Amino acid sequence: MTASSWDAVADDALQAVAAANQLRRPRDLDGGKPDTVLSSTGQPVVSFASNDYLGLTQHPAVRAAARAAVDAYGTGSGSARLIVGSRPVHSRLEERTAVWRGAEAAVLFTTGYAANLGVLDTMGRWASVICSDELNHASIIDGCRLARAPTRVYAHRDAAAVDRLLGDASGPGIVVSDSVFSMDGDLAPLADLSSVCARHGALLILDDAHLVLNHPEPLHPGCRVLRVGTLSKAVGSLGGFVCGPRTFTDLLVNKARSYIFTTAAAPASAAAAIAAIDVIDSGEGEGLKARLRANIDRLRLGHPSPIIPIIVGDEDQALAASAALAAEGILVPAIRPPTVPVGTSRLRVTVSAAHTDDDLKRLTEALHRAGIDV
């Protein structure tokens, strides 16, 4: 294939995206608070699209920790962790994360995406089957594709289907699920999944990326579990981690390609994450979570997470509704295929503890004028 042929491939593919009305481009905002400004137009807006659930990207202690780390270590790590890229702040973050999550040990990855790739690619080498929820995040889907074990996708939240799949397996299996699903904001049935895994001797891998409020269901004590998490959402920094028994985290350090073959996280990101976890673990953090809970309840009473989907159905109608809100200075993204199934296009409202009462009032009034009920 010639260079011009590749140009044609790229052009045709992009035109197909545009023809399907799925062409997307980033839009720049001038700040990280909910009330900010669109860089392109100067329009003041309130964002209901961020995953900064506790507002910690703007916390003075978190920002100060990042600045101090830049002064101490510079802006980057300069190498992979296993060569010369590891700094004391990386090890302190792993220790702090393990204590925070109640685990024996934790291993730091550059992103939550990389953490899912690493844990599934590594542990999948010894599995006869991987059972994955049909609504799992793209990073889990890609991790399953990298793994050597066959993947079986089960119906959303269907623990009975997992039981059947593991019963048919020829050997030990893995069950992987989001704890909080990123497009619907609903919860995985952790009690049932962990009981099934305990019965079959399966490894349970949970992605807690959006788990900022406590999950109400306990895990079965006989279940072996690894918890994947992110430092890029409620923690307000950048990075990912896997928590669990030290034997497992040590194995990931030695086998996970997305850990071994990439430059270590910037020291400033690690320092910011430590400071943020300290806030989350304090009385101030409990207050922020209480504020987040109250903000969620103002929009949808009892909803279990900060992700509130408003199903529209038709893709064009979802885009039109998002545009109408944007015209009033309210940013709520339209989520459409291929991110969600055809016929389930939606507005995806994400709520933060940083939202004010006035922010929430503006959102509900704008939705009402658009003829949309939360």
* 203-247 pLDDT tens trace: 999 999 999 998 889 999 999 999 999 999 999 999 999 999 999
Instruction: Give mean pLDDT, residues 26-43.
Output: 94
User: Above 90 in pLDDT, residue 179?
Assistant: yes
Instruction: Give mean pLDDT, residues 246-262.
Output: 99
Q: Mean pLDDT in the chain? A: 97
pLDDT band at residue 344, thresholds of 50, 70 and 90?
Answer: very high
Q: What pLDDT sits at residue 373?
A: 84
Instruction: Give mean pLDDT, residues 137-161.
Output: 97
Q: What pLDDT sits at residue 3?
A: 76
* 274-329 pLDDT tens trace: 999 999 999 999 999 999 999 999 999 999 999 999 999 999 999 999 999 999 99
pLDDT band at residue 154, thresholds of 50, 70 and 90?
Answer: very high
Q: What pLDDT sits at residue 216?
A: 84
Q: What pLDDT sits at residue 338?
A: 85
Considering the entire predicted model, what is its pTM?
A: 0.96
* 118-138 pLDDT tens trace: 999 999 999 999 999 999 999
Which domains does the chain carry? 27-51+306-369 (3.90.1150.10), 58-280 (3.40.640.10)
Q: What pLDDT sits at residue 22?
A: 84
pLDDT band at residue 164, thresholds of 50, 70 and 90?
Answer: very high
Q: What pLDDT sits at residue 2?
A: 79
Q: What pLDDT sits at residue 214?
A: 86
The pair of structure tokens assigned to 320 is: 């039109």
User: Above 90 in pLDDT, residue 175?
Assistant: yes
